[in-house]
Amino acid sequence: MSTTPKFTFNAAALAQYRPLTLQQPSNLQAVFKSGKMAIGTSLSYPSKHIAKTVAVTGADWCWIDAEHVAWSQDLLIECIQIIIHESGGKMIPVVRVPNKTAFDYMAWCLDAGAGGIIIPHLETVEEMKAVIAACRFFPIGHRSFPPFTFVPTGRHRRDPSRGNNFSIANKHVALIPQIESRLGIQNLEAIMQLDEISGFMIGTGDLRLDMGLPLGFDGDEPEFVAAMQKATKVAKARGLPLVGAALGAEMVKKRIGEGYRVLVCCFDLHTLAYGMITTLGEARATAEEQMKGIHGNGTI
């Protein structure tokens, strides 16, 4: 048997973070604390069919974007559960809610079994405390008991070695603020002192726009570089993973060097659009070349 250490997850490695039943959230906080790389995909199309496809891709986690997509509440909840059940609990759904005060969406997503919540445009300690209060059960917060969510009974409901449904949720669910403004960067160290934060994101696109810089995932402008270096320093000091996007091998390498341990490396919208564009372009170029030999010109 190989003793080579595994620095990324696979289905077998993630199994240890599964809950007693698929009605409860996976232990995403433990995944974050492991120090391993968690590689994710995304679901931005509000579609059960695409959710089923995404669920079998083998990603460790799925970023469901409800900030920039107008999901109906029912469909969002159903797709969270599709990701969980179609993957056999091997893929952990994480929802970016519409905004930092969308406490109703946070509750619905967590009641559906989401393993984590991404909170966009988080800027202050007070805002994060409000999120913690809404997403944690007593004694940490005031998240309400979900009476219409199936709760396992009998021996599955309470395992003395693993806690009850409330303590399991508090222990497992990851809260991930997304910092994407100058004010958020200014308050970064103070925000990350809060114990209930599991990891954090830097929304590089919006941060750059807030700095008056061109939209992009990256850049070499001094203010932007300083912000990213601060994020790396704070993440290391607090022992928190940075969470974010990385498209392509070079960006993955760069992000790992910056302290990222939870990456979404594939976006469903981009994969479908650019995949089709690339395939159609290749087919058209091949057809043009072939038609030259038949008709003597490249027009088809």
What per-residue confidence (pLDDT) applies to 296? 66
CB crowding 226-241: b at 16 or more within 10 Å, else e: ebbebbbebbeebebb
Q: Would you say 63 and 42 are in contact if contact means Cβ atoms under 8 Å apart?
A: yes
pTM over 0.85, yes/no: yes
Q: How far is CA 292 from CA 142, 281, 296, 297, in A?
A: 71, 17, 4, 5
- For position 152, what pLDDT does the model report? 55
- Strand 260-266 vs strand 116-119: parallel, antiparallel, or unpaired? unpaired
Q: Which 3 state secondary structure label does DSSP give 272?
A: helix
> Is the alpha carbon torsion for 92, 97, 101, 106 positive or negative?
negative
pLDDT of residue 14: 73
Q: Tell me what pLDDT residue 161 has.
A: 61
**Topology, domain 11-266:** TIM Barrel (3.20.20)
Domain boundaries, the chain: 11-266
CA 256 to chain centre: 16
| Of the candidates 24, 54, 11, the residue with the CA atom closest to the CA atom of residue 114 | 24
Per-residue pLDDT of the chain (300 residues; tens, 9 = 90+): 344 456 887 666 777 888 778 888 999 999 999 988 999 999 999 999 999 999 999 999 999 999 999 999 999 999 999 999 999 888 999 999 999 999 999 999 999 999 999 999 999 999 999 999 999 999 999 999 887 765 555 444 555 566 778 888 999 999 999 999 999 999 999 999 999 999 999 999 999 999 999 998 889 999 999 999 999 999 999 999 999 998 889 989 999 988 899 999 989 888 888 889 999 999 999 998 888 878 765 455
Nearest-angstrom CA–CA distance, 299 and 296: 9
Which pLDDT belongs to residue 156? 45
Q: What is the 3-state secondary structure (H, E, C) of 43-89?
A: ECCCCHHHHHHHHCCCCCEEEEECCCCCCCHHHHHHHHHHHHHHCCC
The reported pLDDT for the residue numbered 4 is 46
pLDDT at 1: 39
